């Protein structure tokens, strides 16, 4: 069941943005995680210096071109940045409420990273929880790096909602069985990142630089050596084994050829990380594009969004919530008021109509004679008809015969005689069905009449049934 805030705050879509050392790439996916659009643009030299944005105008122009090329449907964006600018540490804490972990880490930040707490943004992710302690991964980035990127994104109309290292984003793309581990090796033009991933959580990341002038063979050798050292270290710790470890390649230079070149050097399976975008260079942008937006307080993800930006979004969210709450409440109250007025008018009209109908029926009832009086009158008329029948020359004798055959329990209310057809039609009321059938039998047995017709609907009621019977005069 959705939370109350979800009913009054619109759901936001977002796209994923990967800021690399040489390329900026972006991906937007559909609700079914199919790639809707993707774009990339190369970063010229001199835009960043040690991870700090130094040429803001050119960077914003690049972002404008990227957004125009991608034609993204949302201005909300999740961002990942190169692992070289992030610092990750595993840390053990006594078993405390998860809501207190951030405060506990803040007291130990100076021992985890070579920077004062006021100079970094940090976040943590839960790795393991036992009966006695918590194992977390703490990730930090210098404020001077994000504090130059965030304003540039906002200036061009984007709304960043998450920042995380590339290795953290890539770990979510891996699909392994429980107990399996991966050595994720991201190979780019300016360097490579080797990360140990377990259970969609990055345990460790190291960097292999590829400075200008260094040959590709030296770069390849350095990557192999680093991967081997990482495997040896975690194998000695009892974490990695040949049966539970896979080397996964991704990044600008990742390819099946590169994987084939590495295979002779390792006893582990090596595979290319392929996603719906079918281009390993876009894997990080795709990873953040398909990830749900989680605030920095979420213990299962890393989000290095500056706190002031998060507070601003919280204020906007609160404002939107109350604005929509009051607006929709006003609409509901207005609809309720209109419906109440319409219902009152309808009920008033119905009451007047019913009162008028009751009065009309009462007047009609009062002006008419009771049914018993009407029946007596009809019977008297029937008797008069029989008496007057003797005066008619055409049917006088036959009327006398009918009178003699007529049981006292049958009352004639109307009769007709067609001279041309020599046909009688009698209408009346019989006290019982038996009496009516007896009368028909007498007519059948008489030598005076023929073709006696009694409709079936005259026999529906056992008592006090109205009937119509017709017959011809025999010639």
Domain extent listing, the chain:
371-473
Angle CA(143)–CA(146)–CA(151) in degrees, nearest 5? 120
pLDDT score for 99: 87
What are the pLDDT digits (tens) for 232-274?
998 888 888 878 889 999 999 999 999 999 999 988 899 999 8
Q: Which two tokens stand for residue 290?
A: 């398909």
- The answer, yes or no, to whether residue 225 has pLDDT greater than 50, is yes
Calculate mean pLDDT across residues 55-84.
93
Rounded distance, CA 197 to CA 165, Å? Answer: 13
- The answer, yes or no, to whether residue 2 has pLDDT greater than 50, is no
pLDDT score for 173: 87
Question: Nearest-CA neighbor of 14 among 62, 82, 70?
Answer: 70
Which band of pLDDT confidence, cut at 50, 70 and 90, is reported for residue 67? very high
Which band of pLDDT confidence, cut at 50, 70 and 90, is reported for residue 394? low
Question: Nearest-CA neighbor of 11 among 331, 289, 285, 317?
Answer: 317
Burial of 272 (0-12, 13-18, 19+ CB in 10 A): middle
Rounded distance, CA 321 to CA 7, Å? Answer: 9
pLDDT score for 353: 83
pLDDT score for 70: 93
Alpha carbon of 358 to those of 348, 350, 365, 368: distances in Å?
15, 12, 10, 15
Which CATH number is 371-473's, of 3.30.1360.100, 3.40.190.10, 3.30.70.990, 3.40.50.300?
Answer: 3.30.1360.100
Which band of pLDDT confidence, cut at 50, 70 and 90, is reported for residue 7? very low
Calculate mean pLDDT across residues 440-450.
84
Calculate mean pLDDT across residues 177-189.
87
pLDDT score for 221: 93
CB-CB contact of 266 with 260 (8 Å): no
For 3-19, b/e burial (b = at least 16 CB within 10 A) is eeeeebbeeebbbbbbb
């Amino acid at each position: 069941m959705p939370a109350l805030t979800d009913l009054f705050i619109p759901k936001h879509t977002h796209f994923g943005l990967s800021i690399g050392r040489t390329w900026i790439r972006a991906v937007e996916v559909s609700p079914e995680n199919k790639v809707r659009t993707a774009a990339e643009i190369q970063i010229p030299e001199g835009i960043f210096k040690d991870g700090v944005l130094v040429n803001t105008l050119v960077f914003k122009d690049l972002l404008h071109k990227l957004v125009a090329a991608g034609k993204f449907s949302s201005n909300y964006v999740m961002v990942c940045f190169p692992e070289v600018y992030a610092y990750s540490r595993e840390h053990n804490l006594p078993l405390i409420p998860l809501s207190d972990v951030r405060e506990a880490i803040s007291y130990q930040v100076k021992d985890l990273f070579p920077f004062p707490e006021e100079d970094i943004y940090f976040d943590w992710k839960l790795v393991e929880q036992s009966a006695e302690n918590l194992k977390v991964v703490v990730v930090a980035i210098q404020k001077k790096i994000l504090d130059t990127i965030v304003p540039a994104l906002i200036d061009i109309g984007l709304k960043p909602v998450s920042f995380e290292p590339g290795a953290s984003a890539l770990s979510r793309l891996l699909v392994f069985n429980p107990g399996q581990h991966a050595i994720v090796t991201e190979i780019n033009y300016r360097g490579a990142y080797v990360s140990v991933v377990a259970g969609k959580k990055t345990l460790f990341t190291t960097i292999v630089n590829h400075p200008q002038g260094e040959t590709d063979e030296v770069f390849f050798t350095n990557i192999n050596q680093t991967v081997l050292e990482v495997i040896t270290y975690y194998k000695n710790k009892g974490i990695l084994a040949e049966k539970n470890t896979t080397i996964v390649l991704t990044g600008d230079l990742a390819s099946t050829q590169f994987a084939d070149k590495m295979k002779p050097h390792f006893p582990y399976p090596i595979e290319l990380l392929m996603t719906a975008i079918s281009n390993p260079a876009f894997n990080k942008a795709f990873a953040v594009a398909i990830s749900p937006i989680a605030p920095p307080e979420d213990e299962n993800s890393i989000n290095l969004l500056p706190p002031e930006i998060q507070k601003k979004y919280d204020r906007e969210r609160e404002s939107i919530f109350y604005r929509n709450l009051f607006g929709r409440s006003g609409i509901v109250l207005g609809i309720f008021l209109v419906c109440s007025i319409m219902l009152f008018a309808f009920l008033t009209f119905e009451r007047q109509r019913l009162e008028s109908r009751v009065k009309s029926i009462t007047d009609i009832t009062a002006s008419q004679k009771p049914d018993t009086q009407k029946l007596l009158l009809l019977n008297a008329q029937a008797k008069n008809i029989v008496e007057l029948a003797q005066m008619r020359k055409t049917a006088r004798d036959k009327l006398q015969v009918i009178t003699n055959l007529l049981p006292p329990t049958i009352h004639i209310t109307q009769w007709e005689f067609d001279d041309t057809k020599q046909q009688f039609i009698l209408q009346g009321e019989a006290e019982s069905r038996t009496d009516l059938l007896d009368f028909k039998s007498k007519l059948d047995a008489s030598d005076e009449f023929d073709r006696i017709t009694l409709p079936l609907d005259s026999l529906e009621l056992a008592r006090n049934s109205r009937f119509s019977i017709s017959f011809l005069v025999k010639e």
